[in-house]
Structure 1
Amino acid sequence: MQRVKLIFISLVALLLASSFAAAENSTRTDGYIIHHNAFLSNELSPEMASRYNIRRSPNRAVINISIIKDVPGTTGTAVTARVKVTSRNLRGQVRTIPLREIKEENAVYYIGEFLVENQEQVTFTIEATPEGGNKPLYATLKQQFFTR
């Protein structure tokens, strides 16, 4: 299980390769940890963006989500889930962000891309129902984006 955490940390580190990226955020709820972060897509290296089929642009952002089930004595286990993300900006505009599931060895990520404006502050509501579960988990992430 240490390997799952190392893979997750490696991907997050690569995705957050800029000093402008916010620290990783997480929400612990009902025996799970929802890891979530958002950043501008142009902060990715061209190689990383290509590997994950992400379009680099100063006006595009990426949200990255991973669901980890708590397992006593371990760092947890990555699980698949039905994940839905909605965003709301300060003007009250609401959007549903389409997500792609990415599986790598023992890690599972949900990545979505969306357009942003300079200084736009966005509140994300994350709803995730782990596979085999019937109760959704919720998390909130607030992020302000500064385009260049």
Structure 2
Amino acid sequence: MRFKKYFLLLLLLCPTLSTAENAYDFGDYIVYYNAFTADTLPPQMATAYGILRSRYKGVLNLSVQKKPHPGQLPQTVNADVKVMAVNRAGQLKTLESRRVAEGKAIYYLSEFRVSNKEVVTFNISLKPKGVIKPLELSFKQQFYVD
């Protein structure tokens, strides 16, 4: 249990503390994202989340938060998540996202294969409950495995 809380903190707080490149602002909502190779996870954390540690496996983490009213903390929210990933060779991958909830925190994990120096473009569509138009974003990430 201690590892899960640490992992959650690692995945959710790091984007909020870094540059705005790890977040998209949609007015009422903010989407935080993080992509990394699974070999960077400590073994206990990978086991707790059912993730195979491998430098050839990428992990995408997403969190959708509703902006707070003054004096309140942001609230993570449920969302329908669709992720398409494409590399420079044009290979398209539809990623399955797994919802993970711990207490009030909600985030979505997707796993995918990567090769050395591969650049992956993620096209993401998130639809929080009650929202008509999906929140859409795109970003590129290069992965190094050697």
Structure-2 residue corresponding to 1:19: none
Tell me if the contact between 1:41 and 1:60 (Cα under 8 Å) persists in the aligned partners.
yes
Structure-2 residue corresponding to 1:116: 114
Amino acid at match of 1:60: K
Task: Evaluate the alpha carbon distance shift between residue 140 and residue 77 of structure 1 in structure 2; reply closer, same or farther with a 3 A threshold.
Answer: same
Of structures 1 and 2, the one scoring higher in RCO (CA 8 A, sep 6+) is 1
| TM-score under structure 2 length normalisation | 0.85
Tell me if the contact between 1:58 and 1:147 (Cα under 8 Å) persists in the aligned partners.
yes
Q: Give 3-state SS (helix, strand or coil) of 2:44's partner.
A: helix
Structure-2 residue corresponding to 1:93: 91
Unmatched tracts of structure 1, length 5 or more: 1-5, 17-21
Aligned length: 138
Tell me if the contact between 1:30 and 1:137 (Cα under 8 Å) persists in the aligned partners.
no
Cα displacement (A) at 1:30: 3.3
Structure-1 residue corresponding to 2:51: 54
Q: Which one of 26, 31, 36 corresponds to residue 28 of structure 2?
A: 31
Task: Evaluate the alpha carbon distance shift between residue 9 and residue 101 of structure 1 in structure 2; reply closer, same or farther with a 3 A threshold.
Answer: closer
- 1:1-148 aligned at under 5 Å gives the runs 10-12=9-11, 25-73=22-70, 74-148=72-146
Q: Give 3-state SS (helix, strand or coil) of 2:116's partner.
A: coil
Task: Evaluate the alpha carbon distance shift between residue 91 and residue 79 of structure 1 in structure 2; reply closer, same or farther with a 3 A threshold.
Answer: same
Q: Give 3-state SS (helix, strand or coil) of 1:124's partner.
A: strand
Unmatched tracts of structure 2, length 5 or more: none
Query: Within 2, Cα distance between the matches of 1:77 and 1:126?
Result: 20
Q: Give 3-state SS (helix, strand or coil) of 2:145's partner.
A: coil
Cα displacement (A) at 1:13: 6.8
Deviates more, 1:69-78 or 1:107-116: 69-78
* C-alpha distance after superposition, 1:122-147 (max 9, x if no partner): 11011000012221001112100000
Two-structure CA RMSD over aligned residues (Å): 2.5
| TM-score under structure 1 length normalisation | 0.84
Cα displacement (A) at 1:66: 0.4
Structure-2 residue corresponding to 1:3: none
Identity score, percent: 39
Q: Give 3-state SS (helix, strand or coil) of 1:135's partner.
A: coil
